[in-house]
Structures are given as C-alpha cells and as structure tokens.
Amino acid sequence: MKALVQDIYGTSDVLRLEDVADPVPGEDEVLVRIAAASVNAADWHIMRGEPRVARLMDRTIFGRRGPRQPIRGRDLAGTIEAVGPGVVGWKVGDEVLGEDEATLAEYAAVPAASLARRPAGLSVEEAAALPLAAVTADLCLTAGAVRAGQRVLVVGASGGVGTFAVQLAVASGATVTGVCSTRNVELVTSLGASAVVDYTEQDFTRTGASYDVVVDLVGNRRLRDLRRVVAKGGTLVLSGGGNPGEGRILGPVGLMAKGGLFGRLLGLRVQIPLAKPDAARLGELAVMAAAGELRPVIERTFPLADAAAAIRHLEVEHARGKVVVTV
C-alpha cells in the first residue's frame, strides 16, 4: 500500500510517499480502508521531534533519530475491510471514524475500541476532521467545567481544536470570545463567538477583560500574562500549542510545567488535560456534526500523493480549521 513515511526527524522535506506492506489486524483490531485522514499539530511535532524534551518524555513515540512509527497521521475515516480475532460489534463494510497512528496511508490496522460509527449525512472528509481535534476541544471544556452563563476565552480560536472549542462552548450556553488573526475574525464570528480579539491589533492580555475559563491552545504567552485574563475563581486550561521551529527545546511544555508548579501560587486554577482518544465521545460529536450542530471547518483538501504538502501547509500557513487528506 501507499503510505507517507519518514526515517529521520526534520521538516516536511523528510517525508515521502512509499510502498509499504499492508497491515494485518491483530487481536481486537480491524483493518480499515482509509477514505480520508486529516493532519494535526501532533503530526509536525512528531515529524520534527519537537519540542526536544518530548523525546525524553515519551519514548514510545520518539526514537533517537526519528519517530518509532515511520508512518504519519492520527485521524481516519473509512470502511472496515477485515476483522481481527476477538472483535465484537463490528463487521466488514461498516463505515467508521477514529484516532490511531499511521493513518496517512491506504490502510490501517487499528484497535476496534478506538472507532466510532460514521453517521449518514457526514462525509468522509468531515468525519476525518473530527477525531483528535473535536475530542481534544471537548476535553478542554470539560477540564474547565464550562457551563451556561460563563465567559470563555479561546486562544487559538481559528485552529483545528479552536474552531471546535468555540462551537462547543457556545452550545453549552457560554459567552465566547475568540483570539485569532485578522484574516480569521469573520470565521470565528461565524462559529458563534460573541467577540473576537485580533492579536495583530491588540494584546488580548491587556484588554481589561477577564473570563471564567481561559482555554489556551497556543502556549506562547507567559503565565503571568495569562493570569491577567482569568477572573477570580476562574480556570486556565493549557493544551498543546507551539510553532514549528520555535521553542525547539521546551516549547509549550515549559508553560505547562510552570502552570502545574506555580499556578496555585499565582492564584490560578490550572488544568492540563491529557489528550487521548475517546471513541464514545467521538461518536456523540459525530452525531452532532451530522445533525448540523457542529461544523468541521475544512480549509483545504489534498490527495494522499500530496500528503507531505498538507503537513507543510499546516506548518507554514497556520491553517484555518482542518486540513484533510483524501485517499
């Protein structure tokens, strides 16, 4: 099968489309013929081995010279082609979406427990845009205990996770302010944000406004700056962030470490949720999307042959919403 692979850490220049052996589903796994995948910041973090401290923190993902899994990708939507031993509840022909590794390929053998059913009315492109980003957005809002009537600030509101976070917070009854660049103000407003701060024109930490929950998906500000926008008794949620080539040693991990160590001393309630697949919640979010209650924002679609360009676009262009790869 065709797959996007790499041997060593580097920019998207180290990626290549290559013929590799078809995967075989093992115990409790299914073989999925992939129709679409999407790219995430996690892809370039792993591709580059950045921040470098991550290479020491998770040796299951990061090897010495390159990722342990040579095939990139985490999200998928497709059709079950074969069922491994011990699998119940799934059969050949089922339409699915889910999150696992090595998905920028024609096939993937994935744990059955990581999959959700693709509802009618949800395209494979839309389905592929959901898994990591939508589930992470939902996890961040849950960590912040977001509820109706609260004021919520989403920093990085136009990105893959951010576009879902804005919509889900609005759906919960919160009043949402998004932070993004000039070209994305209209998009974030269309997702339901009551106000938008254009960071190219204004420092969101010095507007004088404060929020019950601040979700920072960028991770490029100091903890003391973020403290100014968290209301008394409020919560700061830190998740992901970083830009390719910047903060190569610590990146957003430095901010998260400081938040965990010093947040309480600064009077902050800091939450750092651990992003992980949640097939049950993914299934619920997919139903919402199929019903038009949650909109996957897809900026561009690339064919598998150009999957390296898709990751390059995410690296360089600061993509709006999601970038999808069709197979």
Range from 50-59, 185-194, 233-242, 308-317 carrying the lowest mean pLDDT: 50-59
| 74 assigned to some structural domain | yes
Which of residues 253 and 117 earns the better pLDDT score?
117
Same domain, 139 and 264: yes
Mean pLDDT estimate for the chain: 91
Domain count, the chain: 2
Name the more confident of 180 and 56.
180
Is pLDDT above 50 for 260?
yes
pLDDT for res 63: 86
Find the domain containing 19 and state its range: 2-130+296-326
CATH number of the domain where residue 214 is located: 3.40.50.720
Q: Are residues 50 and 71 in the same domain?
A: yes
Tell me if 201 is assigned to some domain.
yes
Q: Token pair for residue 38?
A: 């999407």
**Average pLDDT in the 276-290 region?**
96
pLDDT of residue 319: 84
Q: Is residue 32 part of a domain?
A: yes
Same domain, 10 and 117: yes
Does 150 share its domain with 115?
no
Residue 188 within any structural domain of the chain: yes
| Interatomic CA distance for residues 136 and 159, integer angstroms | 12
What is the Cα–Cα distance from 80 to 314, expressed in whole angstroms? Answer: 29
Which pLDDT belongs to residue 201? 96
Mean pLDDT (whole number) for 180-189? 97
Tell me: do 168 and 258 sit in the same domain.
yes
d(CA 129, CA 137): 13
pLDDT given at position 196: 98
pLDDT above 70 for 257: no
Residue 284: half-sphere exposure toward Cβ, Cα within 13 Å? 6
Residue 34 in any domain: the answer is yes
| Higher-pLDDT residue of 193, 221 | 193
Do 198 and 221 touch, CB atoms closer than 8 A? no
Please report the pLDDT score of residue 243 as a whole number.
Answer: 57
Q: How high is the pLDDT of residue 316? A: 83
Of the pLDDT bands very low, low, confident and very high (cuts 50, 70, 90), residue 45 is: confident
Q: Is 70 contained in some domain? A: yes
Distances (CA, A) of 99 to 48, 67, 242: 20, 18, 22
Q: Give the whole-angstrom CA distance, residue 260 versus residue 89.
A: 40
What's the whole-number mean pLDDT along residues 5-29?
Answer: 96
- Closest Cα to residue 180, out of 217, 155, 205, 151? 155
Domain-located, residue 284: no
Whether residues 83 and 69 fall in one domain: yes
Same domain, 24 and 73: yes
User: Would you say residue 24 has pLDDT above 60?
Assistant: yes
Q: Which of 17-31, 157-171, 244-258, 271-285 has the lowest mean pLDDT?
A: 244-258
CATH number for 43:
3.90.180.10
pLDDT band at 226 (very low <50, low <70, confident <90, very high): very high
Q: What pLDDT sits at residue 268? A: 82
Q: Are 60 and 68 in contact (CB under 8 A)?
A: yes
Which amino acid is it at 267?
A: G
